[in-house]
A and B are shown apart, each in its own frame.
Chain A
């Protein structure tokens, strides 16, 4: 009959095949789990400054224009937590067009939400976490700017997908000192 090693080999290979089939099923079905999050972003203020050193990793920062945003976020993301959600990655991007570059997208704020308790967001008068400056040194001739809130659910296992949620318009003024 079969010895111990043969039985072990048979069990292991069957387990591997079953696990693979299970992983594929989980990956394919998770994006279709329904959810109904609510989300709202309100922009209060945009200020642009120049002439001071802002980003120590960027040698050109003294002469570049940096924008500072003040915004509110109201969101209820608890319904996005299903059995296969490890965490939610919420982030706000500033998108705009500028001369020579037709796509510019910069993440200005992000947050990792680990459980349902943290999923009710009520932020007032928050500033951007990351520096907002153009690839060029100024925001001159920047057009079609808006802010978009995205949610990226990270599953315990499976396919990654991203959900853009809400987009609001954004106007980036030129800095007082640099108006040219």
Chain B
């Protein structure tokens, strides 16, 4: 309604300019995200905690800032790892580290603070240790509860549609 009448007034050029501005905002956001991934050497430098297995330190809905870097993993660090054939990342603490001299290969065992048993039950069958390249990053900082929105979106997919719908309706009826 408003949008169409404005478009007729200013012409195609102004529409294209608006489209370009919108695209450049999107791509800058994407570049910042990918630049952060490169800097931290981590495929996903900001994650949301999905399970309660690190209670009471980290609970569902906390946002973690990861930095992977290139140095060997130290024992006691809380790391996020993703097994090569499983899709979900897991946040647990490293309990055992064995580092080989020549290859620098590391053998790591992890365990969640809230669990009694270590993670060997979660690893792939027959896998006793995880390797350095399965680690997405070490937890360097965190903000509690800030990720609850993501958890709600995951648990109640209808919420995404409701949110999108509300945004569309609001933008159609706004005056500027």
Mark A residues whose CB is within 8 Å of B.
Answer: 3, 5, 23, 27, 57-58, 86-87, 89, 91, 93, 100-107, 112, 114, 130, 135, 150, 152, 154, 156-160, 162
Q: Is the CB of A102 within 8 A of B101?
A: yes
Closest chain A residue to B138, Cβ basis? A160
Residues of B within 8 A of A23 (CB): 143
Given A57-B121, A152-B76, the answer on whether A104 and B140 have CB atoms closer than 8 Å is no
Residues of B within 8 A of A162 (CB): 74, 76-77
Q: Is the CB of A135 within 8 A of B144?
A: no
State which of B97, B100, B175 has its C-beta within 8 Å of the C-beta of A105. B97
Given A57-B117, A105-B97, A157-B143, the answer on whether A93 and B57 have CB atoms closer than 8 Å is no
Given A5-B174, A112-B56, A157-B144, the answer on whether A135 and B95 have CB atoms closer than 8 Å is no
State which of A87, A105, A114, A160 has its C-beta within 8 Å of the C-beta of B96. A105
Nearest CB on A from B72, distance (A): 7
Nearest CB on B from A111, distance (A): 10
Residues of B within 8 A of A130 (CB): 95, 118
- Of all A-B residue pairs in the complex, the 10 with the closest CB atoms, nearest first, are A105-B75, A103-B99, A135-B98, A107-B95, A57-B120, A154-B57, A159-B141, A105-B97, A106-B96, A102-B101
Q: Is the CB of B140 within 8 A of A105?
A: no
Nearest CB on B from A148, distance (A): 10
Given A102-B101, A105-B97, A112-B113, the answer on whether A91 and B76 have CB atoms closer than 8 Å is yes
Q: How far is the CA of A106 from the CA of B118 in the complex (A)?
A: 13
Interface centre among A27, A150, A160 (most CB of B within 10 A): A160
Residues of B within 8 A of A114 (CB): 56
Q: Is the CB of B76 within 8 A of A107?
A: yes
Q: How far is the CA of A93 from the CA of B95 in the complex (A)?
A: 9
Nearest CB on B from A139, distance (A): 13
Q: Is the CB of A106 within 8 A of B76?
A: no
User: Interface size on B (CB < 8 Å)?
Assistant: 32
| Interface presence of B80 (CB below 8 A) | no
Residues of A within 8 A of B139 (CB): 160
Q: Is the CB of B141 within 8 A of A107?
A: no
Residues of A within 8 A of B33 (CB): none
Nearest CB on A from B118, distance (A): 7
Residues of B within 8 A of A154 (CB): 57
Q: Is the CB of A107 within 8 A of B121?
A: no
Residues of B within 8 A of A106 (CB): 75, 95-97
Q: Is the CB of B56 within 8 A of A103?
A: no
Residues of A within 8 A of B143 (CB): 23, 157
Closest chain A residue to B121, Cβ basis? A57
Nearest CB on A from B65, distance (A): 9
State which of B98, B140, B144 has its C-beta within 8 Å of the C-beta of A160. B140
Contact digits for B53-90, partner A, Cβ 8 Å, 1 yes 0 no: 00011000000000000001011111000000000000
State which of A101, A150, A160 has its C-beta within 8 Å of the C-beta of B100. A101
- A sample of 18 inter-chain contacts (CB < 8 A) reads A57-B117, A87-B57, A93-B76, A100-B102, A102-B100, A102-B101, A103-B72, A103-B98, A104-B98, A104-B99, A106-B95, A106-B97, A107-B96, A112-B56, A112-B57, A130-B95, A135-B98, A162-B76
Nearest CB on B from A107, distance (A): 4
